[in-house]
Structure 1
Amino acid sequence: MKDFNEVHEQYEPMIHKIIKTLHIYKDKDDYFQIGMTALWEAWEKYEEEKGSFTGFAYSTIRGRMLDVLKREVKLTERFTYPDNEEFLALIPDKSKESMFEAENLLAHFEPLTDTQKKWVLYTFIGMMKITEIAEREQVSVSAVKKWRQGAKAKLVIRKAN
């Protein structure tokens, strides 16, 4: 039989034709590579007494591409996510709960200043660090530490009473 380079040159148009007949328009280069691999495997396995190489190569290449297409369709069906609006409608809205938590928490902290209340909310509801609070409020880290210190002092006094 011929050298594979000759087979490659002769059957390359067949691979392109199969890609076109299967209506493959995405990842054409990947499917061309799959076709080349299938052509090489067909060339390796071909036995002259069983028929023509052209028919064997065609069915091997087309079969391999169909297998890959089927696998990709299965993956797409399994892992396709709904549209954003549909998907977001499935997620429960917890903003009302967190607002209730904040109001409930702040009811216990009446003696605190506004900045001290911000520290409480950011720390215990927002789960933010001091540096993150300072960045968000555009103040220094030491200012946030003073808010914390004042809040703790007022809360300890209130707890003792």
Structure 2
Amino acid sequence: MQNFEELANQYKRMIYHIIHRLHLYKNIEEYYQIGLIGLWEAHKRYIPGKASFATYAYSFIRGRILSELTKMNRHDERCVCQDHAFFETAHDFSVKQPLELEMLLAYCGSLTKKEKLWVIYTFYHDLDIKEIAQLEKVSISAVKKWRKTAIEKIKMRFKE
């Protein structure tokens, strides 16, 4: 281990040089640690006589840092983490707009009271036929009839 600490001190400038050449300005210490891991792996895998250790270590450290950059970029592209300010300014689109009901009722001028109820329950409150029948204490077939006649009347109105 003492041997690697000496090696790390010897190649410290090389690791920072690689970080600088890759134009990394965030998380420099993290990339330095990744460079040290690359140096460790280069030290373990180096075969004397093939090439100089400095050249081998440089390419190994650079490759390790580039692999980590690719991994981090892939993560950033796939995972969107919003900061706290985003949630303070985000709008709740599920909240009904103030004039939405009035706009909906503008299409219901020729409908009966029950047909208007079906339109409001269906399009404003997002209820299905069974829920409407339970709320109004009527049969499901009655609600279906309200739906059928309401749709016919609205279609006729648009044809005119």
Q: Normalising by the residue count of structure 1, what TM-score does the alignment of the two structures yield?
A: 0.51
Counterpart AA for 2:45: K
RMSD: 3.0
What is the aligned partner in structure 1 of residue 65 from structure 2? 65
What is the aligned partner in structure 1 of residue 152 from structure 2? none
Using the alignment, how far apart are the partners of 1:70 and 1:23 within structure 2? 14
Counterpart AA for 2:14: M
Q: Structure 2: state its 5+ residue gaps.
A: 102-160
1:5, CA displacement in angstroms?
2.6
Using the alignment, how far apart are the partners of 1:5 and 1:72 within structure 2? 28
What is the aligned partner in structure 2 of residue 92 from structure 1? 93
Using the alignment, how far apart are the partners of 1:4 and 1:76 within structure 2? 33
What is the aligned partner in structure 2 of residue 6 from structure 1? 6
How many residues matched? 96
What is the aligned partner in structure 2 of residue 159 from structure 1? none
Counterpart AA for 2:64: R
What is the aligned partner in structure 2 of residue 24 from structure 1? 24
CA distances 1:34-64 after superposition (whole Å, capped 9, x unpaired): 1111101111111012111011100110000
Question: After TM superposition, what 4+ stretches of structure 1 lie above 3 angstroms from structure 2?
Answer: 81-85
Aligned pairs (5 A) from 1:49-60: 49-60=49-60
Q: Structure 1: state its 5+ residue gaps.
A: 101-161
1:88, CA displacement in angstroms?
4.1
Percent identity between matched residues is 36
Structure 2 residue 50 is matched with structure 1 residue 36? no
SS at match of 2:11: helix
Q: Normalising by the residue count of structure 2, what TM-score does the alignment of the two structures yield?
A: 0.51
What is the aligned partner in structure 1 of residue 109 from structure 2? none
What is the aligned partner in structure 2 of residue 146 from structure 1? none
